[in-house]
Structure 1
Amino acid sequence: MKHAYLIIAHREFALLQCLVKTLDDERNDIFIHFDKKVLDIPQLTVKKAGLFLTKERIDVRWGDISVVEAEYALFAEAVNQGSYHYYHLLSGVDMPLKGQDEIHRFFDAYQGKEFIGFSQYDYTKEIERKVRRYHLFPKYFKQQAGISGLFKKTMRFLFICLQDLLGYKRYKKMDFKKGTQWVSVTHGFLQYLLLKKAAVMLIYQHTFCSDEIYKQTLCWHSAFREHIYDLENEGIGCMRKIGWTDGQLSDWTEDNYEELIQSTALFARKFNSKHIEVVHKIINGLK
């Protein structure tokens, strides 16, 4: 059965073409969401895979629910095209660490499993801050410059302080779960996500980094929880190797090549065109 690769892209288009090249297989269709702020869409080429751009383009802002909206645009585009064995959500700066034959064999062997990573540390305070508080101006979490930016930042801070002072919490009875945004899921779970879209948009408006929360929370409180591949290791759970260093996401470099190719993960993130040599070495080693 065919796989769908769902890619969120907004920059680093040389890397994106490398990613598309690794996915160019007759057993795959590739779906790409380009941020609405991208004015010049790159010309990407494939020989074997189907390549589709989402008709809906979202103005994606870091930390905002617009990230979730972009994911849903990809989900809808893929489902409208057909039914796939697995749907792999990637960023445009990710790269597979295994060849397509190995990736397809793996998912055939574990058919029906959901590859969703769940964080293992105590993230109670994160949940309190990110979803149980009401965030003003969520599209402007990173806007710092100018009087307008300073005003929004100040008002958001003061409103959070007021909620803390009053002991205000949203969704007190909801048990939120958290993990990496990037997943590989079945057609059944993707349909479930689409079914829950209206509820997701309602609950996660005016929250922070909901893309790391809503999929895990929906899965946990559904029958799909029984099909999670690994609940004890976030990276293994989603079969992704992510370059965290002291809590910060860092780019892979050529120095990490052996670590990457020896990993059991199927995908890795994130890469940077400044270190594109490691990408070329990975691609040349794929079978």
Structure 2
Amino acid sequence: MKQALLITAYRDFNHLIDIIQFFDNDEFECYIHIDKKYFPDEAIVKKIRSLPSVKLLSNHYTVNWGGRNHLRSCLLLVEEALKNTECVYFHLISGQDFPVKGLTYFKSFASSNRKDYITHYKMPYKNWIHGGMNRVEYYNFYDVFDAKKNGQWIQRLLTWQQQIGFKRKLSNKVPPLYAGDTWWSLTKETLQYVIDYTQKKPYLLSRMKHTFCAEEMYFQTIIMNSPYAQNVVNDNLRYIDWTSGRSGSPAHPDVLDNSDLDKLKSSSALFGRKFQSPVSDELKGNLKKGEV
């Protein structure tokens, strides 16, 4: 009974290798997409490809923060992992995550649990600005401009649309929208449904072009409008700290350090994020020591 780790990454490749090596076991497979802008040098690539659990290492997409290509890279990983019929659970994580539980726990989790873990909220969602509808009702040009370098142009174009009263229409081909966190742990059956939907009803993926953070809506919208909605637990089993202010930005989660160890260990989370060298090195070492 195998599990697949679907990993999207763009930095800190030694940490990525640590994640892969943690799951160096016959019951785990790793499928990795690295942003084309940041694909590592040949020595790192060779090291990653040499690890037994790595079944795919791709740099197919250039991924800008907030852009649709992150969703497309996630779908690529899902499609590739589903080709292995032995995988029953699939965990989407970033290259800045790290497992909180040990391998024994992961194995027990998959053998005794058939629920789908993904956070979801009906849109418009009260805790998001404009209920999150500005993500889909206006053109958000994150795939055109790199927000890290030219974020002001994205915001100016968004503001201009709002000032002139322009809104993108939502076709009746778009089901009721749901949103939530990017990261999830889902069963094979549910993910196969998502891929089948994508192939049979491509309009939704097309409509996600020039939205903001499409990967935070796409999976939730398809799953929560499907027969598999009744199998969903509104919890993605991730420990993410948005509250301490260490990141310096409300748009980004805090980088975890050793002061978070007890909170991580006492949580129900499978993974924590985000980890970043050297800040998180001591924490990561202590999690490895406590591996069960």
Superposed, 1:127-146 pairs within 5 Å as 127-136=132-141, 138-140=143-145, 142=147, 144=149
Corresponding residue of 1:17: 17
Q: How many angstroms does 1:243 deviate by?
A: 1.6
Corresponding residue of 2:219: 215
State how far apart, in whole Å, the 2-side matches of 1:136 and 1:96 are.
33
State how far apart, in whole Å, the 2-side matches of 1:207 and 1:78 are.
26
**1:181-226 C-alpha deviation (Å, 9 max, x unpaired):** 0011111111112123223321201111111111111111000100
Aligned residue identity for 1:122: K
Q: How many angstroms does 1:262 deviate by?
A: 1.6
**1:221-250 C-alpha deviation (Å, 9 max, x unpaired):** 000100012x3xxxxx11111121264410
Q: How many angstroms does 1:141 deviate by?
A: 5.4
**1:54-90 C-alpha deviation (Å, 9 max, x unpaired):** 4462101110101101101111221234341101101
Secondary structure of the structure 2 residue equivalent to 1:272: coil
Q: Alignment length, in residue pairs?
A: 273
Q: How many angstroms does 1:136 deviate by?
A: 4.1
Aligned residue identity for 1:23: F
Root mean square deviation, CA, Å? 2.4
User: Percent of aligned positions with the same letter in both sequences?
Assistant: 25
Corresponding residue of 1:57: 60
Cα contact 2:254–2:274 (8 A) shared by 1:
yes
- 225 and 45 in structure 1: CA distance in 2 versus 1, 3 angstrom threshold: same
Aligned residue identity for 2:117: F
Cα contact 1:65–1:209 (8 A) shared by 2:
yes
Cα contact 1:63–1:141 (8 A) shared by 2:
no
Which of 178, 185, 201 is matched with 2:205 structurally? 201
Q: Where do 5+ consecutive residues of structure 2 fail to align?
A: none
Q: Where do 5+ consecutive residues of structure 1 fail to align?
A: 232-236
Corresponding residue of 1:279: 284
- 282 and 205 in structure 1: CA distance in 2 versus 1, 3 angstrom threshold: same
Question: Which stretch shifts more, 189-198 or 151-160?
Answer: 151-160
Which of 91, 95, 98 is matched with 1:92 structurally? 95
State how far apart, in whole Å, the 1-side matches of 2:113 and 2:260 are.
28
Corresponding residue of 1:154: 156
State how far apart, in whole Å, the 1-side matches of 2:153 and 2:16 are.
36
Secondary structure of the structure 1 residue equivalent to 2:116: coil
State how far apart, in whole Å, the 2-side matches of 1:115 and 1:219 are.
11
Secondary structure of the structure 1 residue equivalent to 2:156: helix
Corresponding residue of 2:29: 29
- 136 and 222 in structure 1: CA distance in 2 versus 1, 3 angstrom threshold: same
Aligned residue identity for 1:189: T
State how far apart, in whole Å, the 1-side matches of 2:92 and 2:83 are.
16
State how far apart, in whole Å, the 1-side matches of 2:255 and 2:148 are.
24
State how far apart, in whole Å, the 2-side matches of 1:150 and 1:95 are.
32
Give the TM-score normalised by structure 1: 0.86
Secondary structure of the structure 2 residue equivalent to 1:278: helix
Secondary structure of the structure 1 residue equivalent to 2:210: coil
Secondary structure of the structure 1 residue equivalent to 2:16: helix
Aligned residue identity for 1:176: L
Cα contact 2:7–2:95 (8 A) shared by 1:
yes
Cα contact 2:176–2:221 (8 A) shared by 1:
yes
Cα contact 1:64–1:209 (8 A) shared by 2:
yes
State how far apart, in whole Å, the 1-side matches of 2:153 and 2:258 are.
43
Q: How many angstroms does 1:108 deviate by?
A: 1.9
Secondary structure of the structure 2 residue equivalent to 1:86: strand
Which of 228, 236, 242 is matched with 1:244 structurally? 242
Q: How many angstroms does 1:91 deviate by?
A: 0.4
Corresponding residue of 1:170: 169
Give the TM-score normalised by structure 2: 0.85
State how far apart, in whole Å, the 2-side matches of 1:153 and 1:241 are.
30
Aligned residue identity for 2:66: G
Cα contact 1:24–1:46 (8 A) shared by 2:
no
